[in-house]
Amino acid sequence: MTGTPILRLVDLSKKFDDLRAVDGIDLEIYDGEFFTVVGPSGSGKTTLLRMLGGMDQPSQGDILLRGERINDIPANRRPTCMVFQSLALFPHRSVGQNIEFSMKMKGIPTADRRARAEQLMAQLHLPLDYYDKNVAQCSGGERQRIALARALAFDPEILFFDEPLSAIDYRLRKTLEKELKDIHRETAKTFVYITHSLEEAMVMSDRIGIMREGKLVQVGTPDEIYNKPRNKFVSEFMGEVNIIEVQKATEDKLECPSLQTQVVGPSQPTGFNSGHLVIRPESVRFLNNSGSAENSVEGTLYNIYSLGSRMQYQVRVGTHVFLVEKLREQGYEGELDDVVKIGWDARDSILVSD
């Protein structure tokens, strides 16, 4: 991504006793970008966000906002705002009072506060007659919108989000993901978002950073993360994929011990000896004959899963289980325990390190 970095992290680390929760992160986040940090529990993503928001101080390194070091500036004096997983709304106040809180603290006149609150409510699809409604009477999705409206009312340069959708049911979460992306586009604010769900990140983000054990192991656009994972960890974190342990056989062939065969793979990097071959389920297809794909194997159809518009198949090949995913109308017409041929082309596979 090009543009002007609004936030720059230089060798940023946070240590708790002997544990390095965040370990030497260098990163630039651009003005107006939707940047998402993804990682499993314990990867350091929440600790990173707390440092960016001013709730924790770094043990090492610098946080630069528009070129100015802000390590020692407390959270309430930074031009940033946090939307917490718990939302942290005032439970005994109305929707309007919650949204207007930061404006009231700034001494903005009552009429101006009301006008801005109603503008934000309309933007976030909250009925205007909710203005005097107690937040405790609102649904989970409505409270999410109220928390976001309150953050936007502060008019921050950067909004930080700490897994705000994690406790919401699937259907509402999918709706709010799209709404957040729309709001980001409308406001042109910089969003920094934390989640454990790569699917969530793929829907909303301009770029994604994958964290593991306190380090950013890969940063890229959703397409780059999906199509060019840097290692096995990122590949597995992407969700259900076929990962096969491989060794170099020749310049263009790979030995697959679990399949007891050799396959044609993508170009091997200099010095490659062993690693893993990653094949997306949608890149594997059922074959009528082995010549219709560069690589083919024979196995048994073990299970079939309906995924709505798509079908997913498990095919057992020796000790390995392949996943094959197709649109419903392109699905396999057969039965469980059928002996089937499946295959893929070298260009549809990715060679990664451990």
Express as a percent the part of the chain with pLDDT over 70. Answer: 99
Q: Around 303, how many Cα atoms within 13 Å sit in the side-chain half-sphere?
A: 7
CA 147/CA 144 separation, integer angstroms? 5
Is 142's pLDDT higher than 90? no
The rounded distance, in Å, linking the Cα atoms of 307 and 282 is: 13
Q: Dump pLDDT digits (tens) for 3-57.
A: 789 999 999 999 999 899 999 999 999 999 999 999 999 999 999 999 999 999 9
Whether the pLDDT of residue 341 is over 90: the answer is yes
What's the mean pLDDT when you consider all of the chain?
91
pLDDT category, 2, cuts 50, 70, 90?
A: low
The model's confidence at residue 1, banded by pLDDT at 50, 70 and 90, is low
Q: How far, CA to CA in Å, does 173 sit from each of 48, 132, 191?
A: 24, 26, 18
Tokens of residue 158, six digits: 């950067």
136: left (phi over 0), alpha (psi -120 to 50) or beta: alpha
Task: Say if CB 23 and CB 215 are below 8 A apart.
Answer: yes
The terminus-to-terminus CA distance of the chain in angstroms comes to 27
| Gyration radius (Cα) of the chain, Å | 24
Is 348's pLDDT higher than 70?
Answer: yes
Encode pLDDT of 233-273 as tens digits. Answer: 998 887 789 999 999 999 889 999 989 899 999 998 888 89
Structural domains in the chain, sorted by start: 5-232 (3.40.50.300), 240-352 (2.40.50.100)
Mean pLDDT of 138-149: 86
* Tens-digit pLDDT profile for residues 163-175: 888 777 788 788 8
CA-CA distances (angstroms) from residue 250 to 130, 244, 262?
Answer: 68, 17, 10
The tokens describing 199, both together, are: 């699917």
Predicted confidence (pLDDT) at residue 311 exceeds the cutoff of 80: yes
- Which tokens in the block code for residue 334? 């057969």
pLDDT above 70: residue 96:
yes
Reported as a single tens digit per residue, the pLDDT across 205-229 is 999 999 999 999 999 999 999 888 9
